[in-house]
Amino acid sequence: MEVIVENSDVLLYLDNKRKYLVKARKGEVLHTHKGFIRVDNLIGKPFGVKIKSSMDVEFVALKPTLKDYLQKIARKTQIIYPKDAGLILLYTNIGPGSRVVEGGTGSGALAGLLASYVKPDGKVYSYETREEFLKTAEKNLRRMGISEFIVLKKADLTQGIEEKDVDAVVLDMPTPWLVVPHAYNALKNTGTLASFSPTIEQVIKTVEAMRKNGFLNIETFECLVRRYQVEAGKTRPETLTVSHTGYLTFGRKFLL
C-alpha cells in the first residue's frame, strides 16, 4: 500500500467542490472553513486514509493525479480542459515514446499533460516567448514531477521550429496559422498537427493555411461536457455548464 512520505503531495478531499493540494512536510497546516488540518500527521499513513479537521470534519487524503495538478493550475490561468486534452491525445496519436512540439507554453499545463503520456522515452519541446511564463511553467512542471520529459524553449513558433521528424505539433496560441508551414517542416511524414482556438475566425484561417501547406484529413471539432447530479429521484444535468472553451482542429501531413 502506497504510503505518504515526507514531501509527498496530498489531495485533501472534502467534497467534489472542495479539494486541497498540499505538501506533507513538517509544520504544514491547511486552514479551511471546516477547521484546520495538521498535514504532517499524514506522514507514514497510506494514501486514502481519513483525517479529521480541528472542527471534527472528515477529509480523505488522496494521491493527486495529473488532472488534480491541472485543476490547481487552472485556478490561476486559463488552461486546456480534460475534455479537449483527451481529444488531442486520441487525434494526434501522442503516446509513450512520442516526440512532440508544443506552444505557447503558458502555465505549462498542456506541456505537462502531454509529457505524462510520452514518458519514459518521448519528449515534449515547449515554446514560449514570455520569460515570466517560462518561470511559472518550470515551477508547475517540477511540482508535477514531469520536468525531465520536457524541454522548455524561449523561442517563437511563428518564426520556425528547430526540431525535425516530430510525431505531432500541438498549438494553443493566438495565431496558429502562422505556424502551419513550420509545423509541416518539423513533422515526420504523416505526422499530426493539432490546434486549439477560442474563436471561429482563428479556425477559418488555420484550416485555410493547412489546406495550402500540405495537410489533409483536416477536421474541426468542439467538445461539450455536461456534469450530472446522480441520486435516486433527483437525477439531472447540472444547471450551468462551461459550453465553450475552444475549437479543436486536426490534420495530417502528406508528401507534396
Binding to its own copies in span 152-181, by CB under 8 A = 165
What's the rounded Cα separation, in Å, for the pair 24 and 47? Answer: 11
Binding to its own copies in span 194-253, by CB under 8 A = 198-201, 203-204, 207-208, 216-228, 230-245, 247, 249, 252-253
The reply to whether 87 sits near its own copies by the rule CB under 8 A is: yes
- State in angstroms the smallest separation of the CB of 168 from its own copies: 10
Long-range (24+ apart) CB contacts under 8 A made by 154-159 are 154/128, 154/129, 155/127, 155/128, 155/129, 156/127, 156/129, 157/101, 157/103, 157/104, 157/127, 157/182, 158/182
Nearer to its own copies, 27 or 232 (CB): 232
- State in angstroms the smallest separation of the CB of 184 from its own copies: 11
What's the rounded Cα separation, in Å, for the pair 232 and 252? Answer: 46
Instruction: Name which position in 12, 24, 91, 125 contacts its own copies (CB under 8 A).
Output: 91
Interface with its own copies: number of residues (CB under 8 A): 83
Strands of 66-176 (E only): list them. Answer: 99-103, 123-128, 150-154, 166-171
The reply to whether 120 sits near its own copies by the rule CB under 8 A is: yes
The reply to whether 67 sits near its own copies by the rule CB under 8 A is: yes
What's the rounded Cα separation, in Å, for the pair 136 and 56? Answer: 36
Residue 147 sits at φ, ψ, to 5 deg, of -55, -35
The reply to whether 131 sits near its own copies by the rule CB under 8 A is: no
Nearer to its own copies, 127 or 202 (CB): 202
Instruction: Name which position in 1, 33, 56, 75 contacts its own copies (CB under 8 A).
Output: 1
For cell 488552461, the residue is: 79
The reply to whether 29 sits near its own copies by the rule CB under 8 A is: no
The reply to whether 117 sits near its own copies by the rule CB under 8 A is: yes
- State in angstroms the smallest separation of the CB of 51 from its own copies: 11
Residues present in the chain in total: 256
